[in-house]
Structure 1
Amino acid sequence: MKLLLTNDDGIHAKGIYALCKELEQYHDITMVAPNDQRSATSHSITIAESLIVKEERLQGLKSKAYSVSGTPADCVRIGLNQLVDQKVDMVISGTNIGYNMGTDILYSGTVSAAVEATLCGIPAIAISTDQDAELEVYDIAAKYVAEIIEKAMGNKIEDDIVLNVNVPAIEQKDIKGMKVCKIGKMQYKPFFKETESSDMSRRYNLEGERIVDHIDESDSYYVNKGYVTITPLHYDLTNFQILKNVSTWF
């Protein structure tokens, strides 16, 4: 199959390298990723500036690779439109340095890159692990992605579906299996720390505390118990449960 790989941690991140190394054994890979760190950019795209694309040589990989001076969503758009000259069967985004679980997915450039693929009519997988993961965890995650790709394509995944995958940062022998589940609740309690400024302006740095609610049978619940989680996502954010009720208001 023809796969497009991207991420939000940048083209030199260890997660995307491990993914490419594993998947290029079985598939035709083109990597298109940001030239620098683009975490928490969500689904932003570049409008007012030109995108700079550069072909990269990544030691130990045989696949073509391009860096882009833009966001993860930019990478998918320009990759599909300009850099890959054949039909892409699936877009793989990750492996992200840091879990993308619960409501955190709304900020995630990794997940948004996968969603952008589905807007272009291509199914996608977004994959993440803990930010403190050892290097071998990315190799483990890549092997799970290879398996998930085969199962998804074998079952004819729809072209508007993202599979959001989180791999616990533990040894492979300790992983209990895979669970398909809903998203949970992961939020940040932000606060801003004021720092000194040389002019009359005020300068603030964002800091905060991650708050995880391990809702039963959710992604964070199962990752915490040692499972790889898979959550199907869709770009239609309509709340169908209250659609009819809200219509009565007007």
Structure 2
Amino acid sequence: MRILITNDDGINSPGLHTLVKQIEEENDVIVVAPSEQRSASGHSLTLHRPLVIREVKIEGIKSKAFSVDGTPVDCVKIAIDKISSYKFDKIISGINQGYNLGTDVIYSGTVSAAIEGAIYKIPSIAVSLGYDETLDFQDRNIYRAAAEYAKIILRYSVKNNMSEDIVLNINVPPIDRDKIKGIKVCQLGNRIYQNCYIESAMEDGTIGYSLTGTPNDIDEENTDVYNIKRGFVTVTPLHYDLTNFKILKDVSQWFREV
């Protein structure tokens, strides 16, 4: 298969490198990723300046790789429209350093890159590994289990003819492979952050505010938030159509006299 691999942590991310090395064993891979860290960029695009593309060489990886000084969504669009001469069979985004659970997917550049693939009618996968401050996330080995599960899920998505407009959002707990209990297909959970802005003095005398936050997870069964804490790899099918079909008819009644 012809696969585009991208991310939001940047072209130098060890998570990206580990994923590419795993996937290129059985597939024709092109890597197109941001030139620098672009986490939490959501579905943003670069509109008011030209994008610069550079071919780069990643140590230990045979696939062609390109950096783009833009967002993850920029990377997907320009890979499809300019870099590649053929249509991709799949797009994989990751491996992200940190979960993309529940409402995280709204902000995530990792997930947004995969959603952009689905908009182009290319079935896509987003892969994230939970963060653990005791681990060295610059070590490629930390991402090995997540890369192996991404490869397994990719195979099953092909075997079962995954729809072209679907994204599979994968989250992997940061534990040893033999301690992972299996795969759970589940819905998005509810993850709300308790945000805190830290003040700091800038060089020009103004005050800056840096955002930090801790997740306040609602532990509902059959959600990704619930199952990831119990040692499962979670898989959630996503779609870019945000219509709330449950209340579509109700809202239409509001305007029946207009």
In the alignment, structure 2 segments of 5+ residues that lack a partner are none
Is 1:186 matched up with 2:191?
Answer: yes
Out of 139, 148, 153, the position equivalent to 2:153 is 148
Amino acid at match of 2:251: V
**Corresponding residue for 1:233?**
238
For residues 178 and 205 of structure 2, what CA distance do their matches in structure 1 show? 57
In the alignment, structure 1 segments of 5+ residues that lack a partner are none
Instruction: Please list the CA deviations of residues 107-147 of structure 1 after superposition, one character each: whole Å capped at 9, or x if unmatched.
Output: 00000000000111101000001122554341111111111
For residues 61 and 152 of structure 1, what CA distance do their matches in structure 2 show? 24
For residues 140 and 206 of structure 1, what CA distance do their matches in structure 2 show? 31
**Corresponding residue for 2:83?**
83
For residues 96 and 138 of structure 1, what CA distance do their matches in structure 2 show? 9
Is 1:165 matched up with 2:159?
Answer: no
Identity of aligned residues (%): 46
Q: Give the number of equivalent residue pairs.
A: 250
Instruction: Please list the CA deviations of residues 171-205 of structure 1 after superposition, one character each: whole Å capped at 9, or x if unmatched.
Output: 11111110100000112121222222344643222
**Corresponding residue for 1:69?**
69
**Does the CA-based 8 Å contact 1:137-1:171 persist in structure 2?**
no
- Aligned residue for 1:96, secondary structure, equals strand
- Aligned residue for 1:19, secondary structure, equals helix
**Corresponding residue for 1:103?**
103
Amino acid at match of 2:76: V
**Corresponding residue for 1:114?**
114
For residues 17 and 207 of structure 2, what CA distance do their matches in structure 1 show? 40
Q: How does 1:129-148 map to 2 (within 5 A)?
A: 129-132=129-132, 135=139, 136-148=141-153
Amino acid at match of 1:119: I
Q: How does 1:11-30 map to 2 (within 5 A)?
A: 11-30=11-30
